[in-house]
Amino acid sequence: MPKRNIVWLIVGAVIAVLLWKVPETRIRRDTIYSKFSPLLDVHVQVAKHHVEEVDDQDLLRGAIDGMLSRIDPYSAYFTEEEYKEFEKRTQGRFSGIGVHVAITPGHGLVVVSPIEGSPAFRAGLRTNDLITHVDGTRTIGLSLDKCVRMISGEPDTQVQLTIQRSGVEDPFDVTIVRGMVNVPSVRGWARTADFTWDYLIDSEMRIGYVRILSFEGRTAEDFREIVDDLYNQHQIRGLILDVRDNPGGLLSEVVEIADRFITEGLIVSTKGREAPPVPYRANAQNAYPRRPMAILVNAGSASASEILAGALRDHGRAVVVGERTFGKGSVQKILQVENNHGLIKLTTEYYYLPNGERIHGKGIAPDHIIDLTPDERTRLLESWMAVYSATRLPTTTQAATSSAPATEPAEERFEITLDRQLMEALNVVRAQIETPQEPVPGVNP
Catalytic residues: 303, 314, 328
**CA–CA dist 253, 265 (Å, integer):** 18
Q: How many angstroms separate the CA atoms of 157 and 15, rounded?
A: 37
**In angstroms, what CA-CA distances link 159 with 43, 82, 97, 123?**
33, 19, 9, 12
Taking Cα atoms as reference points, which of 181, 219, 218 lies closest to residue 100?
181
The identity of residue 313, as a single letter, is R
Residue 368 CB-half CA count within 13 A: 17
CA–CA gap between residue 100 and residue 104 (Å, rounded):
13
DSSP reduced 3-state for 109: strand
Cα dihedral angle (64, 70, 74, 77), rounded to 10 degrees?
A: 0
Question: Measured between alpha carbons, how far is 185 from 213 in angstroms, rounded to an integer?
Answer: 5
Handedness of CA 418, 245, 258, 389 (dihedral sign): negative
What is the Cα–Cα distance from 190 to 379, expressed in whole angstroms?
16
Angle value at C-alpha 132, between 126 and 133, nearest 5 degrees? 110
The answer to whether the Cα torsion of 367, 291, 314, 267 is positive or negative is: positive
Count the helices and strands in the chain (H runs, E runs): 12, 23
What is the sign of the dihedral through the CA atoms of 369, 375, 381 and 386?
negative
Percent helix, strand and coil across the chain, each rounded to 5? 35, 25, 40
Q: Which residues contact 34 (CB under 8 A, 6 or more apart)?
A: none
Please count the other Cβ atoms lying within 10 Å of the Cβ belonging to residue 239.
24
How far is Cα of residue 250 from the mean position of the Cα atoms in its chain?
10
CA distance 274 to 201: 47
- If phi over 0 gives left and psi between -120 and 50 gives alpha, with beta otherwise, what is residue 425? alpha
Q: How far is 231 from 240, CA to CA, in rounded Å?
A: 13
